[in-house]
Amino acid sequence: MEEKREASKLCPTCGGGMVLEVASYPMGSVFLKERFHVDIYRCPNCDRVNLFAAKSKLITCSVCGSVHHADERCAICAINAAFDRKN
């Protein structure tokens, strides 16, 4: 298997290569209109953890116009549906 090494992250503590632990982790509350997503890297040598801004795509919801992650459901629309405000 080939590893993706488009941008190798080096550990600031020991200089070893860090591995992607969690991709596109959403920061902050689901009620925020624009959530910030981070990729979480961990160093297998010393367990140092570093955060990087996620490269994954953000899309604009065509229903409510809020910006959210392409792999996620729109939080605003989910809330609106839960409260069924439009009926």
* Mask for 1-40, x = binds Zn ion (CB under 5 A): ----------x-xx-x------------------------
The residue count for the chain: 87
> Which residue number, 25 or 72, has a Cβ lying nearer to Zn ion?
72
> Which residue number, 2 or 86, has a Cβ lying nearer to Zn ion?
86
| Least distance (Å) between residue 23 CB and Zn ion | 20
**What token pair was written down for 9?**
């992250």
Q: Which helix (H) or strand (E) holds 77?
A: helix 75-83
CA triplet 69, 73, 74: central angle to 5 degrees? Answer: 80
